[in-house]
Amino acid sequence: MAALLDAFRLDGKVAIVTGASSGLGVAFATGLAEAGADIAICARRVERLEETRGQVEALGRRCVAVPADVADPDDCDRVVAATVEQLGKVDVLINNAGVGTAVPATREAPDDFRRVIDINLNGSYFMAQSCGRAMRDSGGSIVNIGSVLGSTTAMLPQAAYAASKAAIIGLTRDLAQQWTGRKGIRVNALAPGFFESEMTDQYPEGYLDQMLFRVPAGRKGEARELVTAAIFLASDASSYITGVLLPVDGGLLTT
């Protein structure tokens, strides 16, 4: 049994977590560190990025913090280069960086729509490209953070966010088809349901609680429940899984 459970460990692995300056990004970084990985983190907010690094190092793992905007391909290359230089390799990418809006479609400014697509979709692609080049000789695991809103709606006007997360599903499947056989790189996606985050703090007061009627589990998700799913997809425990979208939503997509 011990050998079976060892498949979920990340000892000796190096993981990059994007958007790691707050919320679920911090939870991913510290959770993967608890599972045994050394961590590279990136985000635009330097001071909060340093706070995350302190939390990872307090767990006894090495951590590299690189200020970066994932919408800039050069920044993505810089994050990966720093990771390889200081930690030796890249085994795992958690493509977590993301933003959202809740603006009626007739009033959403073009630049606001483009910003969401640039970070959520383009940023995920650019980071995957950079990591794919670094992983090509040894394989690895890419976990894109999508959303149930890529497959359904949530009674808020979120065209940009929903479009970006629907596109993540297609991106995940295509990269899995391209890379798993030739490069040994598995590519999967998580679809979180209702979790509290900086993004949901922008929603109307009580919104998440009002939406729980759609969730068979009857409650919001806890960060650890999303992190353990990410560890599963990042680890050898999921070695025969690629190109899938795994909802972590308390059953929301069944309703």
pLDDT (0 to 100) of residue 134:
97
Does residue 49 lie in a domain region? Answer: yes
87: domain CATH number is 3.40.50.720
Q: Which of 1-15, 68-82, 200-214 ranks highest by mean pLDDT? A: 68-82
Does residue 254 lie in a domain region? Answer: no
Does residue 7 lie in a domain region? Answer: no
- Going by C-alpha positions, the residue among 199, 95, 110, 98 that lies closest to residue 140 is 95
How many other C-beta atoms are found inside a 10 Å radius of the C-beta of residue 222? 12
Which of 78-92, 113-127, 161-175, 190-204 has the least mean pLDDT?
190-204
- The pTM of the full predicted model, rounded to 2 decimals, is 0.96
The total domain count for the chain is: 1
Q: Rounded CA gap, 30 and 136, in Å?
A: 26
Find the mean pLDDT for residues 160-182.
98
Classify burial at 244, counting beta carbons within 10 Å of its beta carbon; exposed 0-12, middle 13-18, buried 19 or more.
middle
Confidence class for position 185, pLDDT limits 50, 70, 90:
very high
Find the mean pLDDT for residues 119-141.
96
Provide, rounded to the nearest whole percent, the portion of the chain with pLDDT above 70: 98
Does residue 1 lie in a domain region? Answer: no
- Going by C-alpha positions, the residue among 71, 16, 20, 22 that lies closest to residue 39 is 16
Find the mean pLDDT for residues 40-64.
96
pLDDT (0 to 100) of residue 94:
98
pLDDT (0 to 100) of residue 1:
53
pLDDT (0 to 100) of residue 52:
98
Yes or no: say if 38 and 15 are a contact pair by the CB < 8 Å rule.
Answer: yes
How many other C-beta atoms are found inside a 10 Å radius of the C-beta of residue 221? 20
Yes or no: say if 77 and 130 are a contact pair by the CB < 8 Å rule.
Answer: yes
- Higher-confidence position of 202 and 98: 98
Confidence class for position 2, pLDDT limits 50, 70, 90:
low
Does residue 2 lie in a domain region? Answer: no
Is the pLDDT at 137 greater than 90? The verdict is no
- Would you please indicate which residues are annotated as catalytic (active-site) residues? 161
Q: Rounded CA gap, 1 and 4, in Å?
A: 5
pLDDT (0 to 100) of residue 105:
96
pLDDT (0 to 100) of residue 155:
86
Containing structural domain, residue 164: 12-249
Does residue 196 lie in a domain region? Answer: yes
Does residue 3 lie in a domain region? Answer: no
pLDDT (0 to 100) of residue 204:
75
Exposed e or buried b per residue across 47-63, where buried means at least 16 C-beta atoms within 10 angstroms of its C-beta? ebbeebbebbeebebbb
Does residue 63 lie in a domain region? Answer: yes
Q: Rounded CA gap, 237 and 228, in Å?
A: 12
Yes or no: say if 59 and 34 are a contact pair by the CB < 8 Å rule.
Answer: yes
pLDDT (0 to 100) of residue 253:
96
* Mean of pLDDT over the chain: 95
Is the pLDDT at 154 greater than 90? The verdict is no
